[in-house]
A and B are shown apart, each in its own frame.
Chain A
Amino acid sequence: MSKSNFTRRGLLKTSAVGGAGLAVPTIFTASSASAFTNEPTGDTVTLGFNVPQSGPYADEGADELRAYELAVEHLNGTGADNGMLETFSSKALKGNGILGKKVEYVTGDTQTKSDAARASAKSMIEKDGAVMITGGSSSGVAVAVQALCQEAGVIFMAGLTHSNDTTGKDKKANGFRHFFNSYMSGAALAPVLEKMYGSDRKAYHLTADYNWGYTTEEAIVSSTEAMGWETVNTVKTPLTQTDFSSYIAPVLQSGADVLVLNHYGGNMVNSLTNAVQFGLRDKQVNGKNFEIVVPLYSRLMAKGAGANVKGIFGSTNWHWSLQDDASKAFVKSFGTKYGFPPSQAAHTCYVQALLYADAVERAGTFNPCGVVEALEGFEFDGMGNGPTLYRAEDHQCFKDVLVVKGKENPTSEFDLLEIVEVTPVAQVTYPPDHPQFAGGSLGSCNPGA
Chain B
Amino acid sequence: MFGLNKKDFTLLLIVAGLTMFAPFLLNPFPEGSAMAQFNAGYPDLMQRFVIFGIFAIGFNILFGLTGYLSFGHAAFLGVGSYAAIWMMKLLTMNVIPAMIMAVIVAGVFALLVGFISLRRSGIYFSILTLAFAQMSYALAYSVLTPITGGETGLQPKMADPRILDAALTEGATPRANLFGLSMTSSYELEVGNWLFTFNAGYYIAAVVMLLAFYLSIRIFRSPFGMMLRAVKSNQQRMNYTGLNSRPYTLAAFVISGMYAGLAGGLMVAMDTQVGPERMFWTASGEVVLMTILGGAGTLIGPVLGAGLIKYMENIISKINSGILHEWFAFLPDGLEDLIVTLIYPFIGKGWHLTLGIVFMLVVIFLPGGLVQGGQKIAAWVRGGKAGSRDKASKSTKPAE
Residue of B nearest to A33 (CB): B188
Q: How many A-B residue pairs have CB under 8 A?
A: 186
In the complex, per-residue mask of A108-121: 1 if CB is within 8 Å of any chain B CB, else 0:
11000111101110
Bitwise, B252-287 to A at CB < 8 A (1) or not (0) is: 000000000000000000011101011010000000
Asked whether A3 is an interface residue with its Cβ less than 8 Å from the other chain, the reply is yes
Closest 9 CB pairs of A and B: A10-B180, A444-B171, A4-B185, A4-B182, A114-B275, A122-B44, A53-B349, A210-B151, A209-B142
Main secondary structure on chain B at its contact with chain A?
A: mixed
A238 and B200 contact, Cβ closer than 8 Å, known pairs A4-B185, A13-B180, A107-B318: no
The docked-state distance in angstroms from the alpha carbon of A169 to that of B203 is: 34
8 new A-B contacts at CB < 8 Å, known A2-B182, A17-B178: A27-B198, A28-B199, A54-B349, A119-B314, A138-B151, A151-B173, A210-B150, A444-B172
Distance in angstroms between the alpha carbons of A7 and B39 in the assembled complex: 33
A-B contact pairs, 21 of them (CB 8 A): A2-B186, A4-B175, A10-B180, A22-B207, A25-B178, A25-B204, A30-B188, A109-B317, A114-B275, A115-B273, A115-B277, A120-B314, A122-B271, A123-B42, A126-B44, A127-B45, A143-B155, A148-B271, A148-B273, A150-B173, A211-B152
List residues of chain B with CB within 8 A of the CB of A30.
Answer: 185-188
Residues of A contacting B207 with CB < 8 Å?
A: 21-22, 24
Q: Which residues of A contact B43 (CB under 8 A)?
A: 1, 122, 126
- Minimal Cβ-Cβ distance residue in B for A446: B173
Chain B residues positioned under 8 Å from A32 (CB to CB)? 188
Task: List which B145-183 residues lie within 8 A (CB) of chain A.
Answer: 145, 150-153, 155, 158-159, 170-173, 175, 177-182
Provide the residues of chain B in CB contact with A170, threshold 8 Å. Answer: 152, 155
Enumerate chain B residues within 8 angstroms of A80, measured Cβ to Cβ: none
Answer whether A443 and B200 are a contact pair too, CB < 8 Å, given A11-B180, A209-B141. no
**Assembled-state Cα–Cα distance A238/B150 (Å):** 12
Interface membership of A245, Cβ < 8 A:
no
Q: Are B198 and A28 in contact (CB under 8 A)?
A: yes
Q: How distant is the Cα of A238 from the Cα of B142 in the complex, in angstroms?
A: 8
- B185 contacts A147, C-beta separation under 8 Å: no
A336 at the interface (CB under 8 A from B): no
**A-chain residues with CB within 8 Å of residue B171 when the two chains form the complex:** 173, 443-444
Question: Chain A's nearest CB lies how many Å from the CB of B308?
Answer: 16
**B181 — nearest CB in chain A belongs to which residue?**
A14
Q: Once bound together, how far apart are the Cα atoms of A173 and B173, in whole Å? A: 11
B178/A2 in contact, CB under 8 A: no
CB < 8 Å neighbour of A238 from B138, B159, B179, B198: B138
Contact of A321 with B by CB under 8 A: no
Within 8 A of B (CB), among A82-120: 106-109, 113-116, 118-120
Q: How far is A11 from B200 in the complex, measured between Cα atoms in Å?
A: 13
Residue B197 at the chain A interface, CB threshold 8 Å: yes
Binding site for A on B (CB under 8 A): 20, 39, 42-45, 48, 138, 141-142, 145, 150-153, 155, 158-159, 170-173, 175, 177-182, 184-188, 197-200, 203-204, 207, 210, 271-273, 275, 277-278, 280, 313-314, 317-318, 320, 348-349, 352
Contacts from A to B (Cβ < 8 Å):
1-7, 9-11, 13-14, 16-17, 21-22, 24-30, 32, 53-54, 58, 106-109, 113-116, 118-120, 122-123, 126-127, 138-140, 143-144, 147-148, 150-152, 163, 165, 170, 173, 209-212, 214, 236, 238-239, 439, 441, 443-444, 446
User: Contacts of A13 on B, CB cut-off 8 Å?
Assistant: 179-180
Q: Are B275 and A115 in contact (CB under 8 A)?
A: yes
Closest to B280 in A: A113
- Determine the distance from Cα of A209 to Cα of B137 in the docked complex, in whole angstroms: 13
- Rounded to whole angstroms, the CA-CA distance of A115 and B172 in the bound complex is 23
On whether the beta carbons of B173 and A14 are closer than 8 Å, the reply is: no
A211 and B180 contacting across the interface, CB-CB below 8 Å: no
Most chain B CB within 10 A, of A28, A120, A209, is at A28
A28 and B186 contacting across the interface, CB-CB below 8 Å = yes
Least distance between A309 CB and chain B CB atoms (Å): 26
Q: Which of A6, A25, A126, A444 lies at the interface centre, i.e. has the most chain B CB atoms within 10 A of its CB?
A: A25
Q: A28-B187, A29-B187 are in contact. Are A441 and B159 (CB under 8 A)?
A: yes
A10 and B181 contact, CB distance less than 8 A: yes
Partner of A211, one of B151, B179, B186: B151
Chain A: which residue is nearest B45 at the CB level? Answer: A123
Closest Cβ of chain A to B188, distance in Å, is: 6
Chain B residues with CB under 8 Å of A9's CB are 180
Q: Which residues of A contact B349 (CB under 8 A)?
A: 53-54, 58, 109
Expressed in whole angstroms, the minimum distance between the Cβ of B343 and any Cβ of chain A is: 16
Chain A minimum-CB-distance residue to B156:
A147
- Known A9-B180, A54-B349; judge A147-B145 contact (CB<8 A): no
Q: From B143, which residue of chain A is reached at the shortest CB distance?
A: A209
B281 vs chain A, min Cβ distance (A): 11
Cβ contact within 8 Å between B151 and A127 = no
Chain B nearest Cβ from A214, distance in angstroms: 8
**CB neighbours of A148 from chain B (8 A):** 271, 273
Residue numbers in A under 8 Å from B141 (CB-CB) = 209-210, 239
Chain B contacts of A152 at CB under 8 A? 184
Complex: A27 Cα to B200 Cα, angstroms:
9
Question: Smallest Cβ distance from B4 to chain A, in angstroms?
Answer: 18
**Which of chain B's residues have a CB closer than 8 A to the CB of A21?**
207, 210
**Cα-based distance from A313 to B145 in the complex (angstroms):** 30
CA distance A82 to B43 in the complex (A): 39
* B145 contact set on A, CB distance < 8 A: 211, 214
- Across the interface, do A28 and B181 meet the contact criterion of CB distance under 8 Å? yes
- Whether the pair B142, A236 counts as a contact (CB closer than 8 A) is yes
Interface centre among B178, B181, B207 (most CB of A within 10 A): B181
Q: Choose from A54, A107, A209, A210 the contact partner of B320 (Cβ within 8 Å).
A: A107
Contact B182 A25 (CB under 8 A): no
CB contacts (< 8 Å) of B204 on chain A: these are 22, 25
